[in-house]
Amino acid sequence: MPPARIALWVMTLGGIALMLRSLFGEPIPLPYALAAFLAYTLWIGLGVVLPQLEVFGDVLWRGDTEAKEVALTFDDGPHPEHTRRVLEVLKARSVPATFFLVGNKVAAHPEVARAIVDAGHAVGLHSYHHDRLYALRSPARITEDIARAQREVEAATGQRVSLFRPPIGYVSPRVAAGAQRAQVTLVAWSAKGRDGLRRTTVEEAAQRLIRGLEPGAILLLHDAAERDDFEPIAPEVLPQLLDAIDAQGYRVVPLERFLEVDEG
């Protein structure tokens, strides 16, 4: 079990013990009770926003390997122009990637989703609407949303997809429960370019990802802007990143390879 999840269990039991002691024994001083409550709340918050801690569920965020292998992933597409530009760069460098697709964008551009698969890349789910409050929705609604995105991707590509990266990457207890019911694998990242933000420069994004190169790294970029309101920089970041990957002796492998070794 991930250490952060064990810590949550320990803190939960500790909290119950403190409560029982306050009820049946000597009440603990208020400042201590408040400090314990704040620490607990903070830990839950960190567990949601840092999926790599795997507090509320198992998350594939790094490959369990010693080999100098990394996986490339893209979020927020498909987009009729920008996704194709990313595909061109990947093709020129003969590099595989996984695209986490937004359901309603697949509905609008099914031919682009199909082009991704035809080019030999993998696809995953990135929710249907990219709802920013996803982590607060009910598990039933999340399960339904995942299933809807799944149907859309299957209609476009013929593939039944079970990799799921939640919007913004937050894994709340609700997201973990919804994903479990939908029988999908939660996927996060070990390094991200922050290129989903308009202000991020090509240089910044490339350097962030290059710093994150390590065996089993899962790198996160965006082939489209979340709201399609600016031009993504991934086509410019990729050449720099791929040069560094080559220069440091790393190899880009399909994300599924990390899935196999992550079991158990």
Query: Judged by CB, which is closer to Zn ion: 47, or 77?
Result: 77
Q: Which residue is nearest to Zn ion (CB)?
A: 75
Query: Judged by CB, which is closer to Zn ion: 54, or 195?
Result: 195
Query: Judged by CB, which is closer to Zn ion: 121, or 126?
Result: 126
Q: Which of these ranges, 5-13, 70-78, 136-144, 151-159, lies near Zn ion under the rule CB under 5 A?
A: 70-78
Q: Which of these ranges, 68-76, 113-121, 199-207, 235-243, lies near Zn ion under the rule CB under 5 A?
A: 68-76
> DSSP of the chain, one letter per residue?
--HHHHHHHHHHHHHHHHHHHHHHSPPPPHHHHHHHHHHHHHHHHHHHH-GGG-SSS-EE-B---SSSEEEEEEEEE--TTHHHHHHHHHHHHT---EEEE-HHHHHH-HHHHHHHHHTT-EEEE--SS--TTGGGS-HHHHHHHHHHHHHHHHHHHS----EE--GGG---HHHHHHHHHTT-EEE--SEE--TTSTT--HHHHHHHHHHT--TTBEEEEESS-TTS-S--SHHHHHHHHHHHHHHTT-EE--THHHHHHH--
| 145 lines the binding site for Zn ion (CB under 5 A) | no
Find the shortest distance in angstroms from Cβ 226 to Zn ion: 5
Find the shortest distance in angstroms from Cβ 21 to Zn ion: 44
Query: Judged by CB, which is closer to Zn ion: 76, or 236?
Result: 76
Binding mask 71-100 for Zn ion (x = CB under 5 A): ----xx------------------------
Find the shortest distance in angstroms from Cβ 222 to Zn ion: 7
Query: Judged by CB, which is closer to Zn ion: 193, or 245?
Result: 193
**Count, residues near Zn ion per rule CB under 5 A:** 2
Find the shortest distance in angstroms from Cβ 239 to Zn ion: 23
| Interacting residues with Zn ion (CB under 5 A) | 75-76
